[in-house]
């Protein structure tokens, strides 16, 4: 009996020892929580030997520069994977192909310079949340990302976070392969414009965050694009809006779309100084320095342009006339002299006739001479 008890204790110790050995060096494992954490351990690659029971895997704050298909073999139970702040620069195609249960992927705060076309492909199509905030290294990374979204089979993706990536321009149709997307976070970038086709294919979008970008206004093309997102709540605050006449259309649209703009009170003027922090919703044409309707302003501008053109034409004609006079100055002088002499002869003749008519004696002489 005692020998049996010793054997049971020995087996328990062996099992406990084997469980402890199953946790990779530098990581913390909890079978009860089905969680493995490898945080700030200066790891150069994804550690091998991660237990198969793992559902939540956190590998953060390390020195992992590249991940590929071999990095996550045998981890088909992982549903939540966080790889943030690892200085990852390259994600190879089918890196997450073995993670058949993956639902949430966090690659934030990395330095992704090379994203292969099928980098985010997951065969089950269960990936719902993709966090790439503060992770894109340069503009070529954006182009790579657009290709990866197109080839990733991410039709079930519900949330995409691209905030804090210094984005200036979004490729047209970049999000069209994500028809199920519900939340798109583009805050804290440097976006300056929205074009026709920027958000094509996002009819199910419920939230669009465009806060803390570089928008000075939204032109008619951009407003039409936002109108194509009928279900989305829009976040447009904390942008450097320039409250001048060119922002009238956006102000009018904002007043008519209050229910859709979730942070309308934060849509405020950044310039000019006299309107700084003024809510754009409360501004009218007079506050913006716009008097009269656009048609009147256009007519005034056209009239001013006509006057300027007429002045230029008359000035040109005057210059040509003076130039012709200069070229013919000798002939003109001779003509003036001849005309003056002719006029003098005529005047002298009239004067002579007047003297004859006024003096009777000269008149008799004139009459005798005629006889």
At 17-48, the pLDDT tens digits run: 444 448 999 899 999 999 999 999 999 999 99
What is the Cα–Cα distance from 66 to 91, expressed in whole angstroms? 6
| CATH architecture under which domain 26-128 falls | Alpha-Beta Horseshoe (3.80)
Looking at every residue in the chain, the average pLDDT score rounds to 86
Residue 4 has pLDDT above 50, yes or no: no
Share of the chain above pLDDT 70, in %: 83
Q: Where are the domains of the chain?
A: 26-128, 158-303
What is the Cα–Cα distance from 100 to 63, expressed in whole angstroms? 26
Instruction: Give yes or no for a contact between 75 and 50, defined as CB atoms under 8 angstroms apart.
Output: yes
Q: Please name the fold of domain 158-303.
A: 3.80.10
Using the structure block, give the residue that is written with the tokens 């949430």.
Answer: 104
Q: Which of 23-32, 115-124, 220-229, 362-371 has the lowest mean pLDDT?
A: 362-371
Using the structure block, give the residue that is written with the tokens 């993706």.
Answer: 157
Q: Which of 83-92, 121-130, 317-326, 349-358 has the lowest mean pLDDT?
A: 349-358
Q: Tell the burial category of 161 from Cβ atoms under 10 Å away from its Cβ (0-12, 13-18, 19+).
A: buried
Q: Tell the burial category of 44 from Cβ atoms under 10 Å away from its Cβ (0-12, 13-18, 19+).
A: exposed
Q: Which residues lie closer than 8 Å to 298 by C-beta, 6 or more apart?
A: none
pLDDT tens digits, one per residue of 44-96: 999 999 999 999 999 999 999 999 999 999 999 999 999 999 999 999 999 99
Q: pLDDT band at residue 299, thresholds of 50, 70 and 90?
A: low
């Amino acid at each position: 009996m005692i020998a049996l008890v010793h054997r049971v204790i020995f087996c328990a110790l062996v099992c406990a020892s084997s469980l402890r050995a199953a946790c990779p060096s530098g990581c913390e494992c909890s079978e009860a929580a089905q969680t493995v954490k490898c945080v700030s351990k200066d790891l150069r690659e994804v550690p091998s030997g991660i237990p198969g029971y793992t559902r939540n895997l956190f590998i953060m704050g390390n020195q992992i520069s590249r991940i590929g298909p071999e990095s996550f073999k045998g981890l088909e139970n992982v549903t939540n994977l966080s790889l943030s702040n690892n200085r990852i620069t390259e994600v190879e195609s089918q890196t997450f192909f073995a993670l058949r249960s993956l639902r949430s992927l966090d690659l934030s705060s990395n330095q992704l310079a090379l994203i292969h076309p099928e980098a985010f492909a997951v065969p089950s199509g269960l990936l719902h949340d993709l966090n790439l905030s503060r992770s894109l290294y340069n503009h070529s990374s954006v182009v790579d990302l657009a290709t990866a979204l197109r080839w990733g089979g991410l039709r079930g993706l519900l949330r995409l976070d691209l905030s804090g990536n210094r984005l200036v321009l979004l490729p047209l149709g970049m999000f069209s392969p994500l028809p199920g997307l519900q939340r798109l976070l583009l805050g804290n970038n440097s976006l300056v414009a929205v074009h026709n086709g920027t958000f094509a294919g996002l009819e199910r979008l419920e939230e669009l965050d465009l806060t803390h970008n570089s928008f000075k206004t939204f032109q008619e093309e951009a407003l039409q694009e936002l109108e194509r997102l009928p279900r989305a709540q829009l976040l447009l605050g904390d942008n450097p809006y320039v409250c001048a006449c060119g922002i009238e259309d956006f102000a009018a649209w904002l007043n008519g779309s209050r229910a859709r703009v979730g942070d309308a009170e934060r849509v405020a003027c950044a310039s000019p100084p006299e309107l700084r922090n003024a809510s754009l919703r409360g501004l009218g044409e007079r506050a913006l320095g716009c008097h009269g309707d656009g048609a009147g302003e256009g007519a005034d501008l056209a009239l001013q342009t006509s006057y300027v053109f007429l002045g230029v034409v008359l000035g040109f004609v005057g210059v040509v006339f003076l130039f012709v006079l200069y070229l013919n100055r000798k002939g003109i002088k001779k003509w003036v002299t001849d005309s003056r002499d002719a006029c003098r002869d005529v005047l002298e003749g009239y004067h002579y006739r007047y003297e004859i008519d006024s003096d009777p004696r000269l008149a008799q002489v004139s009459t005798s001479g005629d006889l």
